[in-house]
Amino acid sequence: MALTITDECINCDVCEPECPNNAISQGDEIYVIDPAKCTECVGHYDESQCVAVCPVDCIVVDPANTESKEQLHDKFLRLTATPA
């Protein structure tokens, strides 16, 4: 499952540099996660880095983008594949 940032985000910029997939960016109102790039850190770390650092605990699993660990791992492989 990809992660999403709720409207409790305080725009503090702590999560963006932590993301190994560069999936987080500053949106119009709050920071946003690109579900196509978020692997919940599967493939990179044991725990989701943004969730670990968020000071207000506003990053949660996105119910609209549910994926299994295997699917996330596939996404990780796809994102990190070097073009042939």
Binding to other proteins by residue 77, rule CB under 8 A? Answer: no
- In angstroms, the CA 39 to CA 35 distance is 8
Strand residues in the chain grouped as ranges (E): 3-5, 24-26, 31-33, 59-61
Least distance from C-beta 49 to other proteins, angstroms? Answer: 12
Residue closer to other proteins, measured from CB, 11 or 66:
11
Return all residues near 7 (Cβ < 8 A) that are at least 6 apart. 29, 30, 58
Binding mask 4-43 for other proteins (x = CB under 8 A): ---xxxxxxxx-xx----------xx--------------
Least distance from C-beta 77 to other proteins, angstroms? Answer: 29
Number of residues that bind other proteins (CB under 8 A): 16
- 49, containing H or E segment: helix 49-53
Task: Provide the binding-site residues for other proteins, judged by CB under 8 A.
Answer: 7-14, 16-17, 28-29, 53, 55-57
